[in-house]
Amino acid sequence: MAAAASLNALTLRAPSPTPGAPAALCAGAPPALAWTPRSRFPALRAARRVAARAAAAAGGDPEDEWGKESAEPAADQGGAASTAAAVAEAPAPEAPVASEVAELKAKLKEALYGTERGLRASSETRAEVVELITQLEARNPTPAPTEALTLLNGKWILAYTSFSQLFPLLGFGRLPELVKVEEISQTIDSENFTVQNCIKFSGPLATTSVSTNAKFEVRSPKRVQIKFDEGVIGTPQLTDSIVLPEQFELFGQNIDLSPLKGVFTSIENAASSVAKTISGQPPLKIPIRTNNAESWLLTTYLDEELRISRGDGSSIFVLFKEGSSLLY
């Protein structure tokens, strides 16, 4: 699996005193300073001189005192000032309701049930999954996933993909009980900037894994570039007991395996001793030196238990965090 991945100011200004509001200009002034149309400008100059003398006597700056006076809200504008303050303190629009996101995740989990990570999904199911993914991406609580690497960190289990190159591997599940894809996972180490993709297989005789190791670089708030450097074939772990189905279907025919039970009983005894020897061997590591072993990953939704990513060829990956209730 190629691991392929992602936001304001209100200026309030108290209304300036209007020429028709003498109370704001002359509040507390002696009658000689009262507003009259014929002495408009002399009264204004007189008021400023009174304020200047008072400020000088107090040892302050006359301009500062006048500034403070003119900056104070007028008595008849108290309602407007209170309204402006209320607007300033009004809360911002609420974030997407958590219950809404939880409901979408529950619907997504239900839609993915029985699709075998997307392999058996019908066109109607795929359309439903894409719609749910789009709604979740619009409510993404982590708009810059690459700036929240600790949230990306850990093991993620693949629940769904539209990446067609994985379908041949997923197709092994069409051989019931003989070969089964147990798990496809991606483990991210945010401290060392490494990522490991792993596929675990199980069969009647052994379990094993195939994985790729890679390094990643942050290219944008949502995007990382991945370069694969090593493939690893895990050491087969032989089962202590060989469990065979009574029968299985192959090319449309039912194959009866009951006559082979006696043969496998003797093989089981030998397998137990061989298992200890093989399991002690180190995994086979294959260096990847091709220049084409690169990919990119765009994370479009991320929280503590769900990650949605998009990659090459418009592919979609839905992954659940290991231990999440979404896995059960």
Query: CATH number of the domain that 179 lies in?
Result: 2.40.128.280
In a domain, 70, yes or no: no
Q: What is the pLDDT of residues 132-152, one digit of tens each?
A: 999 999 999 999 999 999 999
Quickly tell me which residue has 């890679």 as its tokens: 214
Strand partners, 256: 247
Quick check: 271 and 250 in contact, CB under 8 A?
A: no
Quick check: 227 and 293 in contact, CB under 8 A?
A: yes
In a domain, 195, yes or no: yes
Tell me the residue length of the chain: 328
In a domain, 247, yes or no: yes
Confidence class for position 298, pLDDT limits 50, 70, 90: very high
Return the pLDDT at 288.
85
pLDDT of 257 above 80: no
pLDDT of 220 above 60: yes
Q: What is the mean pLDDT of residues 44-49?
A: 52
End-to-end alpha-carbon separation of the chain, Å? 23
Return the pLDDT at 251.
57
Q: What is the pLDDT of residues 155-201, one digit of tens each?
A: 999 999 998 777 766 665 555 556 788 899 999 999 999 999 999 98
Number of domains in the chain: 1
In a domain, 111, yes or no: no
Which helix (H) or strand (E) segment holds residue 86: the answer is helix 78-88
pLDDT of 232 above 70: yes
Return the pLDDT at 214.
95
Hey, what are 42's tokens?
Answer: 């002399």
In a domain, 174, yes or no: yes
Hey, what are 226's tokens?
Answer: 């991945």
Identity of the residue numbered 163: F
Return the pLDDT at 303.
96
pLDDT of 301 above 60: yes
In a domain, 115, yes or no: no
Confidence class for position 215, pLDDT limits 50, 70, 90: very high
pLDDT of 122 above 90: yes
Confidence class for position 207, pLDDT limits 50, 70, 90: confident
What residue numbers bound the domain in which 233 lies? 145-321
In a domain, 35, yes or no: no
Whether the full predicted model's pTM is greater than 0.85, yes or no, is no
Confidence class for position 202, pLDDT limits 50, 70, 90: confident
Instruction: Calculate the average pLDDT of the chain.
Output: 73
Identity of the residue numbered 127: A
Q: 245 vs 256, which has greater pLDDT?
A: 256
Quick check: 161 and 125 in contact, CB under 8 A?
A: no
Nearest to 184 by CA among 324, 25, 2, 40: 2
In a domain, 292, yes or no: yes
H-type alpha helices, the chain: 22-26, 40-57, 62-71, 78-88, 98-112, 123-137, 149-152, 167-170, 261-279
DSSP state of 205: S
Return the pLDDT at 175.
52
